[in-house]
Structure 1
Amino acid sequence: MRISILCQSCCLLAAIAASSLAGESDASKSEIELIQQAIAEKGADWTPGASWVTELSAAARRSLCGAVLQPTDLSRAQVISLPQADELPAHFDWRKNPGNWVTPPKNQGNCGSCWDFAAVAQVEAWWKIVNDNPDSMIDLSEQFILSCADAGSCDGGDPELALQFVRATGVPLETCLRYQANDAVPCSRACSNWLDEAVRIPGCGYITIGDADIA
């Protein structure tokens, strides 16, 4: 069995997306057309296009992908068992279930903090699901994690450590400590009542699925 780390999946997907155009310093029309062709062949449902990321150099793009995956002692990890593949739906999307249970994507700026944004996005989605309201909005502070948690920096970090911090300490709203794409911002700049508004999660775990299911 291969271990798929649920806590880190969003950051890995962000890394794949950011690196898909990393061969050249500028995104050309032909590059985007090639991606569109690949999407059509796979029957996927999203549209690529030029953005501020595609205008960066290959090195600058890679610097945004800051997931640093640490070795895990699986004998001590919480493992979540999934049903057999034939008992699972062929397709599942939290954005259409019905309603959208995830929060909008955010701009991490010139900082390799994708690990931070991946963790916080999962907590925001969890909050909406737990409150059983897809129309509710919550915006948690990525800067608080970057400044206060010993989980990483603008040079990379571990989303699992970030989630463990949210479980133990919590993360307040964005207004408590706004994102500045700077890991030198001191934790002391957070609002004085951050503990009162902090959101905590009960925990996170790992899932095990077969190699064929991953493919």
Structure 2
Amino acid sequence: MWKHTAARWVLSMLIALSLMHVVAEKNDEGTPCGCALETGGVAEYFCSVMDEVWEHETDNFTKPVLGDPPASFSWKDNGGDWTTPARYQGNCGSCWAFAAVSALESIINIREGVATLDPDVSEQYILSCLPSSGSCHGGSPYLAYYYLHSTGASGDYHNGIIPEECFPYQARDDVPCSEKCADWEEKLIPIADYGYWIPDGSEEDRNRIKTQVMEDGPVVTFMMATEDFQQWGLIHHGQDDYYPYPGYVPGIN
């Protein structure tokens, strides 16, 4: 049953991921990196990894044509709910993996034209088999796509992601990759393309993001939660501060 479904999803992924943009923002002095439950060495490590990746890659998707978006729009209420259910990440800083997977699952729904299809793919596969993309201490959804697409050692020698049932989420990054299901290679959903473009903060680019969401589906964005985000209350930092923290945007308002 799954093999037939997976094969159909492969076709939709070839279309959907060519349209997916990993949208990030940066200031004049920073480069988008990952998220972290704690600051310091882990976050700095992933920033250095992202710097190395982006040294060889420029904005590899062009900005979408500027449209005239309405005041509000949501894939959660557009003739149906095209997003997949929110899932609990547990005591693991895997927000970045959940952001990447959530956008991907929603795009599969949209491209298949079935709001209730609701595929469930494995965040644990990313944590356990693609450790270069991140850990329970933070990571990058861009790196998740980068290594899912890779067929080298860092990409588990295969392009794609597997279903949740093949490698259930355990909220740990020390689960061996070998614990995935035995026939995982037959269940891989390949990724044809991925990429990002960097908004400049202008109203025009904000409207481009809105247009992107409406035309192509949810996009992944960054906002970093600093230590004071762990407490309830009003958080305010300088307008030029840059905090990349992954999430995904299913609509506009």
Normalised by the size of structure 1, how large is the TM-score? 0.64
Give the Cα separation in 2 of the matches to 1:8 and 1:153. 21
Name which of 166, 185, 194 aligns with 2:148: 166
Superposition pairs of residues 193-204 of structure 1, within 5 angstroms: 193-204=183-194
1:90–1:83 CA distance, 2 compared to 1 (3 A):
farther
Superposition pairs of residues 93-132 of structure 1, within 5 angstroms: 93-132=74-113
Report deviation, 1:165. Answer: 2.6
1:137–1:84 CA distance, 2 compared to 1 (3 A):
closer
Does residue 175 in structure 1 map to residue 157 in structure 2? no
Superposition pairs of residues 146-157 of structure 1, within 5 angstroms: 146-149=127-130, 150-157=132-139
205-214 or 137-146: bigger deviation? 205-214
Unaligned segments of structure 1, at least 5 residues: 10-61
**In structure 2, what is the equivalent of residue 212 of structure 1?**
202
Output the amino acid matched with 1:111: C
Give the Cα separation in 2 of the matches to 1:114 and 1:142. 10
**In structure 2, what is the equivalent of residue 88 of structure 1?**
69
Does residue 136 in structure 1 map to residue 117 in structure 2? yes
Give the Cα separation in 2 of the matches to 1:151 and 1:164. 8
1:180–1:134 CA distance, 2 compared to 1 (3 A):
same
Report deviation, 1:108. Answer: 0.6
Unaligned segments of structure 2, at least 5 residues: 1-19, 25-35, 151-158, 208-253
The question of whether the paired residues in 2 share the 8 Å contact of 1:111 and 1:155 is answered with yes
SS in 2 for 1:183: coil
Report deviation, 1:93. Answer: 1.2
1:92–1:74 CA distance, 2 compared to 1 (3 A):
farther
SS in 2 for 1:7: coil
The question of whether the paired residues in 2 share the 8 Å contact of 1:108 and 1:117 is answered with yes
Give the Cα separation in 2 of the matches to 1:106 and 1:195. 25
Report deviation, 1:113. Answer: 0.6
Give the Cα separation in 1 of the matches to 2:90 and 2:38. 8
Name which structure has the greater RCO, CA cutoff 8 Å, separation 6+.
Answer: 2
Superposition pairs of residues 6-155 of structure 1, within 5 angstroms: 6-7=21-22, 63=37, 70-71=50-51, 72-73=54-55, 76-85=58-67, 87-149=68-130, 150-155=132-137
Identity of aligned residues (%): 35
Output the amino acid matched with 2:83: V
**In structure 2, what is the equivalent of residue 186 of structure 1?**
176
* Superimposed CA distance per residue, residues 123-180 of structure 1 (whole angstroms, 9 cap, x where no aligned partner): 1112112211111121111101100012111111111010123334211111111111
SS in 2 for 1:206: coil
SS in 2 for 1:139: coil
Output the amino acid matched with 2:65: P
**In structure 2, what is the equivalent of residue 18 of structure 1?**
none
103-112 or 93-102: bigger deviation? 93-102
Output the amino acid matched with 1:163: Y
**In structure 1, what is the equivalent of residue 242 of structure 2?**
none
Q: CA RMSD in A?
A: 2.8
Give the Cα separation in 2 of the matches to 1:125 and 1:166. 17
